[in-house]
Structure 1
Amino acid sequence: MNFVNQSCENSEGLQRYQHYLYAVVYSVILAPGLLGNVLALWVFGVYIRETKKAVVFMMNLAVADLLQVLSLPLRIYYYLNNTWPFGNFLCMICFYLKYVNMYASIYFLVWVSVRRCQLIMRPLTYSSSRRKGDMCICGFGWLFVCLGCLPFPLLRNPVAAQYINSSDQLLTSGQVCFSELPLRPVSAPVALSLLILAEMMGFIIPLILVLACACLTAGSLRELTDGAIHDRGEKRRALRMVLSCAAVFLVCFAPYHVTMPLDFLAKANVLTNCDLRNKILWCHPITLCLASLNCSLDPIMYYFTTNEFKRRLSKPEIPEGRTVNRQQSCIPRGEKAEDNNTAVLLKDQ
């Protein structure tokens, strides 16, 4: 399961292609991903704490994206220099964060869709206690995702791999990292079980939930149900948000989860057709890059689907409390004293 049949593909050419592709894509998404998610955290945390439109989940989504972005410089260095000098531990951390980001993003995109759909269909059911419940859901989500992604690094062997210095090899003497780490021996039933579990829990069930929320939100535009919001503009904004979540799923995560089991079968030498095996091995890096694009697409989704984000980002507003204090500071002391006396008399009456 750890080796690909060398008679079926050019490993040196495939490795060069992968390193070039990853270095280019990660370099492109580094700056917008970093700036977009830092800005999103600033806007959500400072300006719109008072709103209840799934902001808690969007803030956690931005944190997940930021974790991946912060690991990109080390990945870019590796793919440009063809060696990993930072040690096994940091290699496994960066490798682990890639999958934590992906499945945490999926988890929080689902909850953004569910909460926006709920706020349209049953707005009166949301209260301050439900807001605290959202924080518990986020905490559980991080724990669930971090534990669920542990098999990805644990199945890799972080032993330094040395390459013979020859014209046939891309890497000279040095340590490999990420997907080039050799797999630990594992039985076929265990590997198949982990693969099915990752597909079902990490993609298929979340996708069904997001699409269901999109259908319910779209249906609310045509029908009026008891307790639902009657503002069609608000419903359209909610629908844009849910459809954006579904679009991120289909663009970023669907291609990767289609090629992931095929890539496993190819590397396990289960596929005997060399042409099919080579196509899978050359297509899978593209889908992995698409999965990484979500850290740059999510801030764009915030801007175009969240009214508060767009308004306060384009024209920052002074919080209400500061406005009142500023107005009071402009009142002469005599008038302010009279206003205070009047307030006391009214209170006594």
Structure 2
Amino acid sequence: MGYNCLPVDDLLEKYYLSPSYGVEFCVGFLGNLLVVIGYVFCLPKWGSINVYLFNLAASDLVFLCTLPRLSYLYAHGKSETNPYMCIINRYILHVNLYSSILFMVWISMDRLLLVMHPSKLHSLLTCRAALVVTGLSWLAVNVQVAPMISLMIQDHQRGNWSICKDFASLKGDLDTLGYSLGLTLTGYILPLVGICVFSHRITLLLRRQEEALQRQKTAYGRPVRVVRAAAVMFLVLYMPYHVMRNVQIAASADWAGLSQCSRVRIKALYIVTRPVAFFHSVINPVFYFFMGDHFRELLLGKLRKLIRMRQTITLSRPSVGIPT
């Protein structure tokens, strides 16, 4: 080794990434699975908000299923040897990353329209409109992530299809830094601005309603708090990841002129931000209980009904007596 500094990046991958991904899977999987099952079996009538929330939960659930293998590989100091699994894993990861914030934009828009049109007569508050928006959203996210797949294939070809690298370490014909900056702008910054704008509009409308009706609280006070919480969540969780990803890509370039130790430290900081960004999949189920129309009441009612049915079946079973 031509440099004398602690391999912090390798230590973090084994002792930080591995347990972090394991914990995120254990907590987030149960929450998102409960939401998906609840939407399928407990929600008789879907609204536009439910379409967005279900797609968000399904995306989180699929992503979380990739974490156990990553946790195992990092714990044993191994790299993914199957190139197809490597590409699929990175594809799912980034599609979830950018679809999550995009769906939260539509959820915020939906709540704004609901405040503006309480009777739900607006065309965008229908399930059909939500399905169209959802389909276009998945298409947009896949278009954003497609160049990354091309980069991964080129990088795999250079490494004889044996090395699985993170996005920030890929090399190819495409300008990786330029692509990462563009993805940061279109996939993160613009959607975050959208959430903030919708949150601000909801706040203004609610204040006007309060002044007009001369009351302190409105029926839609909770959505504005939840939308604000979503904006804060994506700001706190996503910002460090996107900043350090771009810094990591720039630091690995020859024109940066950084020493190997400096690059190791930057990579270590980048590694720290990755589980933080993915933590949104663990937090998202909280939004489903507060944003969905009566979802929490329907789910709890279904659970109570199942418990009562189980108790009834248990009590109705004939007791087995001991023969005399």
Normalising by the smaller structure, the TM-score range is 0.7 to 0.9
Q: Which residue is 1:326 aligned to?
A: none
Q: Which of 9, 17, 40 is the matching residue for 1:14? A: 9
Aligned to 2:199: 214
In the alignment, which residue of structure 1 is the partner of 2:95?
100
Q: Which amino acid aligns with 1:138?
A: T
Asked if the contact 2:176–2:249 (Cα under 8 Å) also holds between the matched residues in 1, the reply is no
Change (3 A) 1:70 1:183: same
Quote the residue 1:29 is aligned against: 24
Tell me the TM-score normalised to structure 1 length: 0.75
When normalised by structure 2's length, the TM-score is 0.81
Alignment partner, residue 343 of structure 1: none
- Render the CA deviation track for 1:204-252: whole Å, top value 9, x for unaligned: 1101100011111122221129xx9x99443112112312321221122
Task: Give SS of 1:150's match.
Answer: helix
Kindly provide the CA deviation profile for residues 277-309 of structure 1, in whole angstroms up to 9, marking residues without a partner as x.
454322111211111111111012223454623
Q: 1:236 aligns with which of 212, 221, 224?
A: 221
Query: 5+ unaligned residues in a row in structure 2: which ranges?
Result: 306-324
**Corresponding position: 1:186 with 2:184:** no
Shift of residue 35 of structure 1? 1.0
Instruction: Name the counterpart of 2:185.
Output: 200
Pick one of 116, 134, 141 that aligns with 2:111. Answer: 116
Q: 2:95, 2:141 within 8 Å by CA — same for their partners in 1?
A: yes
Whether 1:89 and 2:95 are equivalent positions in the alignment is no
- Structure 1 pair 85/204, CA: closer, same or farther in 2 (3 Å)? closer
Q: 1:36 Cα deviation (Å)? A: 0.9
Q: Deviations over 1:96-122 (max 9, x none)?
A: 111011011111111111111111123
Amino acid at match of 2:89: C
Give 1:84 shift.
4.1
Q: Which amino acid aligns with 1:220?
A: L
Q: 22, 33, 39: which one pairs with 1:38?
A: 33
Q: Structure 1 278/181 Cα, relative in aligned 2: closer, same or farther at 3 Å?
A: closer
**Aligned pair 1:158/2:144, yes or no?**
no
Shift of 1:128: 8.5
> For the pair shown, which has the larger CA radius of gyration, 1 or 2?
1
Q: Is the 8 A contact 1:271 1:277 kept in 2?
A: no
Distance 1:100 1:151 in 2: 12
Matched, 1:133 2:120: no
Counterpart Cα distance in 1 of 2:47 and 2:69:
37
Return the offset for 1:152: 2.0
Q: What is the CA–CA distance in structure 1 between the aligned matches of 2:207 and 2:38, rounded to whole Å?
A: 33
Count of residue pairs the alignment pairs up: 300
| Secondary structure in structure 1 of the residue aligned to 2:256 | coil
Note the C-alpha offset of 1:46: 2.7
Shift in Å, 1:85: 6.0
Q: CA deviation at 1:74?
A: 1.4
User: Structure 1 residue 20: deviation in Å?
Assistant: 2.3
Contact 2:9/2:264 (<8 A) preserved: no
Say if 2:123 and 2:129, in contact at 8 Å, map to a contact too: no
Q: Which amino acid aligns with 1:246?
A: A
Distance in 1 (alpha carbons) for counterparts of 2:111 and 2:303 = 24
What percent of counterpart residues are identical? 24
The secondary structure found in structure 1 opposite 2:219 is helix
Tell me what 1:323 maps to. Answer: none
Q: What CA RMSD, in Å, does the superposition of the two structures yield over aligned residues?
A: 3.3
**Letter of the 2:191 counterpart:** P
Q: What code does the residue aligned with 1:139 have?
A: G
Unaligned runs of 5+ in 1: 163-173, 320-349
Answering whether residue 74 of structure 2 is matched by residue 79 of structure 1, we say yes
**How far did residue 126 of structure 1 move?**
2.7
Partner of 1:253: 238
Q: Which range is displaced more, 79-88 or 145-154?
A: 79-88
Hey, what's the Cα distance between the residues in 2 that align with 1:98 and 1:201? 17
Whole-Å Cα distance in 2 between the matches of residues 317 and 15 of structure 1? Answer: 45
CA deviations over 1:146-197 (Å, ceiling 9, x no partner): 22112223213225969xxxxxxxxxxx95424289633336xx33431332
Q: Is the 8 A contact 2:237 2:277 kept in 1?
A: yes
What does residue 312 of structure 2 align with? none
Aligned partners of 2:16 and 2:55: how far apart in 1? 29
CA distance in 2, matches of 1:51, 1:241: 20
CA contact (8 A) 1:71 1:94 kept: yes
* CA shift for structure 1 position 318: 9.3
Distance 2:80 2:190 in 1: 39
Retained in 2: the 8 A contact 1:199–1:257? yes
Q: Deviations over 1:59-94 (max 9, x none)?
A: 000111011111112111211222246511111111
Aligned-residue offset at 1:317: 7.5
1:149 paired residue number: 145
Q: Any idea what the Cα deviations from partners look like across 1:44-64, whole Å, max 9, x if unmatched?
A: 233235253611101000111
Which runs of at least 4 in structure 1 moved beyond 6 Å after TM superposition? none
- 2:50 matched residue in structure 1: 55
